[in-house]
Amino acid sequence: MRSFKLLDDYIDAALKNARYEKIDNGTKVYAELRGFPGAWADGKTRDEATKTLRQVLKGWIELQLERGQPLPRLRGVQTPQLESA
């Protein structure tokens, strides 16, 4: 199992599990992360949706930390030990 100490590494690992779907007659791409309730984004392209999803996930993680909630475990990834500032 890989151990990730940096938040960006954890986010990169989470984004590998993102699910994408074309919406609005193919004019947009919807992206979501299963296991991260409410973490979704959309964009004109898959890259744009992924960039937005990265920002959404950072905010989602901050909120989890503020609430004292654990981060979801990812297969093959050790969950980082983070603290709210």
Residue 2 lies in a domain: no
DSSP per-residue codes, 19-54: EEEEETTTTEEEEE-TTSTT-EEEESSHHHHHHHHH
Average pLDDT over residues 8-16: 89
CA dist 52 and 57 (Å) reads: 9
Q: Supply the pLDDT for residue 85.
A: 52
Phi and psi at 48, nearest 5°, equal: -65, -40
* Pairing between β-strand 19-23 and β-strand 28-32 as defined by DSSP bridges: antiparallel
* pLDDT confidence band for 3 (50 / 70 / 90): very low
Domain with 46 in it: 8-73
Specify the CATH number for the domain of residue 37. Answer: 3.30.160.250
* Number of domain units in the chain: 1
Q: Over the stretch 32-52, which tens digit does the pLDDT of each residue have?
A: 999 999 999 999 999 999 999
